[in-house]
Amino acid sequence: MLTQADITLIIAALQFWAEEMDPEDEQCLRIYAEAPEAEQTRTPAEIQQLRSRLKTAHLKYVVSNESRTALQDRGLHSTFQGAFEACNDPTDLVGTLLLPETSSED
């Protein structure tokens, strides 16, 4: 489950990555991600776009069943505590949902 503090840390890490890492160095992401199949395909500009999307995203919480295949209620909760209180079964799980900012044209 992600919190707003987690999102803030990710935004800061992305800024560091855009400024300090070489986007041409394919080994770099593999090392830091601890994933041999990872490929660095993001330019600093693309990373800045991702940072912007994360900064404006709305963090919500949902309740799912244990197998993570269905939502247990249709509500989007503003807090983890609110989602936790909506759990009807001890096996229910609380998940994080990042919703994009809606444009004024919608």
Does 68 fall in a domain? yes
Q: How large is the average pLDDT for residues 75-82?
A: 92
The candidate with the shortest Cα–Cα distance to 25, out of 50, 3, 42, 46, is 42
Report pTM.
0.76
Q: Show the domain range for 58.
A: 4-30+39-100
Q: What is the pLDDT of residue 106?
A: 43
Return the amino acid letter for 21: M
CB burial of residue 39 (10 Å; 0-12, 13-18, 19+) = exposed
Does 95 fall in a domain? yes
* Higher pLDDT among residues 87 and 30, named by residue: 87
The candidate with the shortest Cα–Cα distance to 63, out of 86, 38, 46, is 86
What is the domain count for the chain? 1
Does 106 fall in a domain? no
Tens digits of residue pLDDT in 3-61: 899 999 999 999 998 888 877 777 788 888 887 787 777 788 888 999 999 999 999 99
Q: What is the pLDDT of residue 103?
A: 63
DSSP per position, 12-50: HHHHHHHHHS-TT-HHHHHHHHT-TT------HHHHHHH
